[in-house]
Structure 1
Amino acid sequence: MRNTKGQYASPEDKQISGEMEELLGRYLSSLQQQKERTKESTIDTRRREVRYWLAFCESNDIDPLAATTEDVKGYIQVNTHLADTTIGSYYRSVQSFYSIVENDAADDRLELANGHPCPDKRTIDLKQDYDIFENKAEYKLQHDLSAGDIEGVRDGAGEILALKPEQVERLFDSVPGKTRPTKERNEIAVRLNWYTGCRSVELSRLRIENIDWDECSINVRSAKLNVKEHSGQIRRDVYFPEEFRFQLKRWCTRVRHSFSSAAEPNSGRILVTTHKNEMPGPQINNVVKQAARNAGVQRPLRPPNPTPDDEVKEWFVTTHRIRRSAISHWVNDCESLDLHQVRRIAGHARIQQTMAYVEDDDAQIARDYQKAMQ
């Protein structure tokens, strides 16, 4: 039952009454009739997670067939201690329950007294309302993984590990550097890594004369594509936010050439060292890794729990991780960017490479399709 302030409570366990079990069975039967091609794994997930919802309803004296949007929001609220992907899955199971019940024309018991409480983002938007990234396995945080999980994860694996935007932004204020110009150069490097999604060697290649200050873009040569096979894609434009323009321009026109004895004013590589006209990719990577340590988000991936004598062979936060995080953000969070645009910015030769950053959500596809066809 809710407390004296009317706040929702989590059930002490996930057990439900016989009446709720019957309702769960009717829902699952209708789900399988309405969506015959539903995978067994999906049915198992819905069975488990709809039971959680029904247990919540029962513990808070809510009739599931008369639940309101506020009831669903209460359910989200009591689960905010869980991982984003878990909350997203729980919420999609609630949406599935009501979509199936709403569309059932055969079972007289499956009638909604108040209609669908959460049909789309106009009623509940996990990202906007709760800062929850509901359908991105890419945002599975490294510190949520067990040592055994970490040992099996590599960049080529199906699970893409990525930082959330707010985690990356913590790096900006945590860059290393003994002098103010060095810290400024390092912050520019980390910001360009995140804003452009460039690989470390591409960051090293970025040149002042290739900046379009009006468009906030930089033309760069790809570090991966073969000029004979991809002549039209060997160079691409990457972009940075308008609010970063002043900081970048100040570095390029006022600070950079006084910082480096090897740099020419208004031309050459954007990122330089005190004695060289180019900051090499490995050095940029070291700056990113140290910034992550300073920000408290750096951890070893391999070995997962090193002893004082162990050499860390792979760190979680690197320039490549920032690149993957940027692409994940563009694909999953930025509705104004479509996949083909992200592919071009990322410098992928094939759309399939960009698709690897998308978390499939069949229920969301169905809802978005219906909305598009209205």
Structure 2
Amino acid sequence: MVLRKIFPAMYTLSEEAPACSRNGTLYLMRCIFVMGVRKPPARFFVAYCLWSIVMNLSSTFYQPIAFLTGYISHLSELSAGELLTSLQVAFNAWTCSAKVLIVWALIKHFDDANDILDEMDRRLTQPSERLRVHQAVSKSNRIFFIFMTVYMSYATNTCLTAIVMGKPLYQNYYPYLDWRSSSWQLGLQTGLEYFAMAGACLQDVCADCYPVNFVLVLRAHMSIFADRLRQLGSDPEESPEQRYEQLIQCIQDHKTILRFVDCLRPVISGTIFVQFLVVGLVLGLTLINIVLFANLGSAIAALFFMTAVLLETTPFCILCNYLTDDCYNLADALFESNWIDGEQRYKKTLMYFLQKLQQPIKFMAMNAFPISVGTNIVVTKFSFSVFTLVKQMNIAEKLAKVEGEADFN
């Protein structure tokens, strides 16, 4: 009951309640606001601007630099496990910053997409249709909180591991701060790293979960649209003119769906492309760390991290495959409608519309490769190639030997 009061959009409304598809991205848009990439509200203009500067300076801009500078400054002092723990996160932090900048530049597309969802909602007249949208909205918000839980669990687990080990796991570079010199500087370093990583995780949730949130609601509307197509021409009391108008309205509905997809396509294309570039390498480094170097605390943190990395692409790639099937289902639904007894004008328009419906909705990663389960498997398999290469070259044994000699000396 407490959760229902705090997060009502996580729960399915009754079919009597009006449909509000934009609620499927309710908590997503609130977290994007917390990211500091929205237009500052007039009432809290200064406070929001200051928060945006602090959040993005620490997580978006400085954190990638801090990782790189830390390697240059303290590379010889890092153990193999510490280096891999830091390196796997560093690659993901660099891609996270790139995705945040893409979302920041194209944030208006989210508002436009929600406006188009409002148009779709106005076409819902049956209680069963509204119920389907309510179910999609609640599922979308629950998935968002699953993402948030996994990502924040990783950030918190690494912070706790750092406290137990008595040294910061990432060992980022902060000017005039030497965590080895005193306990309070160690605490400050750990706190700064946790704040930056928690902010990056929040940003990553928004940058990775928005395609899932939007497409889940879209699939609900496409399912309703398929039923609407299947019912075309089923009313014997309709005149030929009314039947034709119903078909034209369905064509307009399809155009609305395509406008919604085109609105999101530039953002999805950029963020997924950036993630595809490094997902195999990041997973490979994480596997090496877990199998060869990590202690119990680091291994648990690495498992949370691996789960988070897999969540960045896999759910949306699965949805893209389902979306293709939904498009073919639309064509089947139109063909199953009562069109044989229609007039010639109705049949010609329907055949043209059928050809359009047979063209599946596809998302591309920067026009380089399709976003699908097949592509996700290909880029993920690269992680095993990285792991195999390290094993064959005995890099782990060499690093352990060098580390042992350093400890002996």
Q: What's the TM-score once normalised by structure 2's chain length?
A: 0.28
Which has a greater percent of helix?
Answer: 2
Q: What's the TM-score once normalised by structure 1's chain length?
A: 0.29
Name which structure has the greater RCO, CA cutoff 8 Å, separation 6+.
2
